[in-house]
Amino acid sequence: MRYGLNITGILGILKTAKMLGLISTVKPILEALVQQAGFWVVQTLYERVLEDVGE
């Protein structure tokens, strides 16, 4: 925590959005980030995020 702020990355935002019902699935968004935007994520983390959200 810096300056009293919590820092959350894009993967954390996607997980939270799904848990709050703001998005129905994470995988298509994550795939688009990787394929279209060049977002890089290690495979084990990719799989862990999907497992955490039940996908």
HEC-encoded secondary structure of 28-53? HHHHHHHHHHCCCCCHHHHHHHHHHC
Kindly state the greatest CA–CA separation across the chain: 35
Residue 40 inside a domain? The answer is: yes
Residue 4 inside a domain? The answer is: no
pTM for this prediction: 0.84
Residue 44 inside a domain? The answer is: yes
Question: pLDDT tens-digit profile of 6-48?
Answer: 888 999 999 999 999 999 999 999 999 999 999 999 999 999 9
Helix (H, G, I), strand (E, B) or coil at 5: strand
Residue 42 inside a domain? The answer is: yes
Residue 18 inside a domain? The answer is: yes
pLDDT at position 6, please? Answer: 84
Q: Which domain holds residue 31?
A: 10-52
Instruction: Give the closest residue to 49 by CA, choosing from 6, 10, 5.
Output: 10
Helix (H, G, I), strand (E, B) or coil at 2: strand
Residue 2 inside a domain? The answer is: no
Helix (H, G, I), strand (E, B) or coil at 27: helix
**Total domains present in the chain:** 1
Residue 1 inside a domain? The answer is: no
pLDDT at position 1, please? Answer: 59
